[in-house]
Amino acid sequence: MYIQNSWYAAGMSHEIGSKPVARTILEQPVVLYRMQSGTVAALEDRCCHRGLPLQHGVVTGELLECGYHGLAFDGSGRCVRIPGQEKIPAKAVIRSYPVVEQDDLIWIWMGDPALADAAKIIQYPWHRDPAWAYKGKCTTINAHYQLLYDNLMDLSHVGYVHKNTIGGEPEAHSNAQMKTTRTADGVHVIRWLLDSTPPPTYSAMFDFKGRVDRWIEIEFSPGAVRLYTGAKDAGAGAYEGNRDGGLGLRTLHAITPSTPDSTYYFWSIARNVKLDNQDIHEKVFRQIEATFHEDKLILESQHQRLKQRPDPLVDIAADAGAVQARRVIAERIKEEAVVRSPSIR
Amino acid sequence: MYIQNSWYAAGMSHEIGSKPVARTILEQPVVLYRMQSGTVAALEDRCCHRGLPLQHGVVTGELLECGYHGLAFDGSGRCVRIPGQEKIPAKAVIRSYPVVEQDDLIWIWMGDPALADAAKIIQYPWHRDPAWAYKGKCTTINAHYQLLYDNLMDLSHVGYVHKNTIGGEPEAHSNAQMKTTRTADGVHVIRWLLDSTPPPTYSAMFDFKGRVDRWIEIEFSPGAVRLYTGAKDAGAGAYEGNRDGGLGLRTLHAITPSTPDSTYYFWSIARNVKLDNQDIHEKVFRQIEATFHEDKLILESQHQRLKQRPDPLVDIAADAGAVQARRVIAERIKEEAVVRSPSIR
Amino acid sequence: MYIQNSWYAAGMSHEIGSKPVARTILEQPVVLYRMQSGTVAALEDRCCHRGLPLQHGVVTGELLECGYHGLAFDGSGRCVRIPGQEKIPAKAVIRSYPVVEQDDLIWIWMGDPALADAAKIIQYPWHRDPAWAYKGKCTTINAHYQLLYDNLMDLSHVGYVHKNTIGGEPEAHSNAQMKTTRTADGVHVIRWLLDSTPPPTYSAMFDFKGRVDRWIEIEFSPGAVRLYTGAKDAGAGAYEGNRDGGLGLRTLHAITPSTPDSTYYFWSIARNVKLDNQDIHEKVFRQIEATFHEDKLILESQHQRLKQRPDPLVDIAADAGAVQARRVIAERIKEEAVVRSPSIR
pLDDT tens sequence across C303-329 = 999 999 999 999 999 899 999 999 999
Q: What region, left, alpha or beta, does residue B332 occupy, with left being phi > 0 and alpha being psi -120 to 50 degrees?
A: alpha
Backbone φ, ψ for residue B91 (5° rounding): -75, -10
* Among B169, B215, B146, CA closest to A70: B169
Q: Is A125-334 a domain of CATH 1.10.10.10?
A: no
Cβ-based burial of B6 (10 A; exposed 0-12, middle 13-18, buried ≥19): buried
Q: What are B189's strand-pairing partners?
A: B180, B218
Q: Please indicate whether, in this complex, the C-beta atoms of C50 and A301 are within 8 angstroms of each other.
A: no
Q: Please, are residues A159 and C69 in contact by the beta-carbon 8 Å criterion?
A: no
Taking contacts as CB-CB distances below 8 angstroms, the residues of chain B near A89 are 314, 316
Chosen for mutation from B69, B80, B82, B95 (greatest number of chain C CBs closer than 10 Å) is B69
Q: Please indicate whether, in this complex, the C-beta atoms of B317 and A46 are within 8 angstroms of each other.
A: no
At B182 the three-state DSSP class reads strand
Q: Which chains touch A (3 or more CB pairs under 8 A)?
A: B, C
Q: How distant, in Å, are the alpha carbons of A226, A269, B79, C1, C157 from that of B66? A: 64, 62, 10, 29, 10
* Distance, CA of C220 to CA of C234 (rounded, Å): 27
Strand arrangement of the beta sheet that strand A79-81 belongs to: A58-60, A63-65, A72-73, A79-81
Query: Is residue B345 predicted with pLDDT exceeding 50?
Result: no
Query: Is residue A344 predicted with pLDDT exceeding 50?
Result: no
Q: How distant, in Å, are the alpha carbons of A12, A82, A105, A268, B69 from that of A33? A: 12, 20, 13, 22, 60
Q: What is the pLDDT of residue C164?
A: 79
- Give residue C28's pLDDT band: very low, low, confident or very high (50, 70, 90): very high
Q: How distant, in Å, are the alpha carbons of A179, A195, A205, A215, A280 from that of A237? A: 19, 12, 20, 12, 27
**How many other C-beta atoms lie within 10 A of the C-beta of residue A213?**
22
Q: Is A7-120 a domain of CATH 3.30.300.180?
A: no
Q: What is the pLDDT of residue C267?
A: 97
Q: What region, left, alpha or beta, does residue C223 occupy, with left being phi > 0 and alpha being psi -120 to 50 degrees?
A: left
Note the pLDDT tens digit of each residue in A153-207: 988 898 899 987 777 677 777 777 889 999 999 999 999 999 998 888 888 889 9
| Alpha carbon A304 to chain centroid, angstroms | 22
Q: What are C345's strand-pairing partners?
A: none
Contacts of B323 (CB under 8 A, 6+ apart): B315
Instruction: Pick the residue from chain C with its C-alpha nearest to B50.
Output: C313
Tell me the residue length of chain B. 345
* Among A201, A192, A187, A193, CA closest to A153: A187
Taking contacts as CB-CB distances below 8 angstroms, the residues of chain C near A157 are 68-69
Query: Is residue C25 predicted with pLDDT exceeding 70?
Result: yes
Note the pLDDT tens digit of each residue in C328-337: 999 999 999 8
Taking contacts as CB-CB distances below 8 angstroms, the residues of chain A near B309 are 29, 46, 51
Q: Please indicate whether, in this complex, the C-beta atoms of C316 and B49 are within 8 angstroms of each other.
A: yes
Tell me the residue length of chain C. 345
Cβ-based burial of B269 (10 A; exposed 0-12, middle 13-18, buried ≥19): buried
Partner-chain residue, chosen from B159, B298, B317, that has the shortest CB–CB distance to A52:
B298
Q: What is the pLDDT of residue C273?
A: 85
Contacts of C260 (CB under 8 A, 6+ apart): C27, C144
* Distance, CA of A54 to CA of A42 (rounded, Å): 11
* Distance, CA of A113 to CA of B155 (rounded, Å): 38
Chosen for mutation from A52, A60, A73, A80 (greatest number of chain B CBs closer than 10 Å) is A52
Instruction: Pick the residue from chain A with its C-alpha nearest to B157.
Output: A69
Q: What mean pLDDT comes out for the span B206-213?
A: 94
- Give residue B205's pLDDT band: very low, low, confident or very high (50, 70, 90): confident
Backbone φ, ψ for residue C163 (5° rounding): -60, -30
Tell me the residue length of chain A. 345
At B281 the three-state DSSP class reads helix
- Give residue B9's pLDDT band: very low, low, confident or very high (50, 70, 90): very high
Q: What are A326's strand-pairing partners?
A: none
The pLDDT > 90 percentage for chain A reads 80
- For residue A200, the 8-state DSSP code is H
Closest Cα in chain C, distance from residue A294 (Å)? 10
**How many other C-beta atoms lie within 10 A of the C-beta of residue A281?**
18
Note the pLDDT tens digit of each residue in C61-87: 999 999 999 999 999 999 999 998 999
Q: Please indicate whether, in this complex, the C-beta atoms of C83 and A170 are within 8 angstroms of each other.
A: yes
Taking contacts as CB-CB distances below 8 angstroms, the residues of chain A near B171 are 83
For chain B, the average pLDDT equals 93
Strand arrangement of the beta sheet that strand A40-44 belongs to: A21-25, A28-34, A40-44, A96-97
Q: Please indicate whether, in this complex, the C-beta atoms of C89 and A314 are within 8 angstroms of each other.
A: yes
Least confident of A243-257, B278-292, C15-29, C285-299: B278-292
Q: What mean pLDDT comes out for the span B266-278?
A: 89
Closest Cα in chain C, distance from residue B188 (Å)? 39
Q: Tell me which of 3.90.650.10, 3.40.190.10, 3.40.50.10240, 3.90.380.10 is the CATH number of domain B127-334.
A: 3.90.380.10
Note the pLDDT tens digit of each residue in B91-141: 999 999 999 999 999 999 999 999 999 999 999 999 999 999 999 999 999
Q: Which residues of C touch A (CB under 8 A)?
A: 29, 45-46, 48-53, 55-56, 65-71, 82-85, 89, 91-92
Taking contacts as CB-CB distances below 8 angstroms, the residues of chain C near B66 are 160
- Give residue B340's pLDDT band: very low, low, confident or very high (50, 70, 90): low
* Among C127, C90, C125, C158, CA closest to C298: C158
- Give residue B213's pLDDT band: very low, low, confident or very high (50, 70, 90): very high
Q: How distant, in Å, are the alpha carbons of C10, C108, C112, C183 from that of C5? A: 14, 10, 6, 19
Closest Cα in chain B, distance from residue A11 (Å)? 22
The number of C-alpha atoms within 13 Å of C300 and in the hemisphere containing its C-beta is 12
Partner-chain residue, chosen from B161, B174, B313, that has the shortest CB–CB distance to A49:
B313
Q: Please indicate whether, in this complex, the C-beta atoms of A309 and C92 are within 8 angstroms of each other.
A: no
* Distance, CA of C269 to CA of C10 (rounded, Å): 18
Contact pairs from chain A to chain C, CB under 8 Å: 77
Partner-chain residue, chosen from B156, B176, B314, that has the shortest CB–CB distance to A91:
B314
Q: Please, are residues B80 and B65 in contact by the beta-carbon 8 Å criterion?
A: no
Query: Is residue C342 predicted with pLDDT exceeding 60?
Result: no
* Distance, CA of B91 to CA of C324 (rounded, Å): 22
Closest Cα in chain A, distance from residue B201 (Å)? 20
Least confident of A53-67, A267-281, B16-30: A267-281
Note the pLDDT tens digit of each residue in A74-83: 999 999 999 9
Q: How distant, in Å, are the alpha carbons of A340, B36, B75 from that of B33? A: 61, 10, 9
Partner-chain residue, chosen from B45, B51, B84, that has the shortest CB–CB distance to C313:
B51
- Give residue A340's pLDDT band: very low, low, confident or very high (50, 70, 90): low
The number of C-alpha atoms within 13 Å of A201 and in the hemisphere containing its C-beta is 26
For chain C, the average pLDDT equals 93
Taking contacts as CB-CB distances below 8 angstroms, the residues of chain A near C43 are none
- Give residue B343's pLDDT band: very low, low, confident or very high (50, 70, 90): low
Q: What is the pLDDT of residue B227?
A: 95
Mode of pairing for the β-strands spanning C40-44 and A96-97: unpaired
* Among A311, A144, A301, CA closest to C31: A301
Contacts of B195 (CB under 8 A, 6+ apart): B211, B212, B213, B234, B235
Taking contacts as CB-CB distances below 8 angstroms, the residues of chain B near C301 are 52-53, 55-56
Chosen for mutation from A160, A175, A299 (greatest number of chain C CBs closer than 10 Å) is A160
- Give residue C344's pLDDT band: very low, low, confident or very high (50, 70, 90): very low
Q: Which residues of B touch C (CB under 8 A)?
A: 29, 45-46, 48-53, 55-56, 65-71, 82-85, 89, 91-92
* Among C95, C91, C90, CA closest to C77: C95
Give chain B's radius of gyration (CA, Å): 22
Give chain C's radius of gyration (CA, Å): 22
**How many other C-beta atoms lie within 10 A of the C-beta of residue C84?**
18
Note the pLDDT tens digit of each residue in A82-134: 998 999 999 999 999 999 999 999 999 999 999 999 999 999 999 999 999 99
Give chain A's radius of gyration (CA, Å): 22
Domain ranges of chain C: 7-120, 125-334
Q: Please indicate whether, in this complex, the C-beta atoms of C305 and B51 are within 8 angstroms of each other.
A: yes
* Distance, CA of C268 to CA of C284 (rounded, Å): 11
Note the pLDDT tens digit of each residue in B241-256: 999 999 999 999 999 9
Q: What is the pLDDT of residue B344?
A: 44
Note the pLDDT tens digit of each residue in A54-68: 999 999 999 999 999
Taking contacts as CB-CB distances below 8 angstroms, the residues of chain C near A305 are 29, 45-46, 51-53
* Distance, CA of B178 to CA of B193 (rounded, Å): 9
ipTM over 0.85: yes
Partner-chain residue, chosen from C29, C49, C56, that has the shortest CB–CB distance to A313:
C49
Least confident of A243-252, C71-80, C95-104, C165-174: C165-174
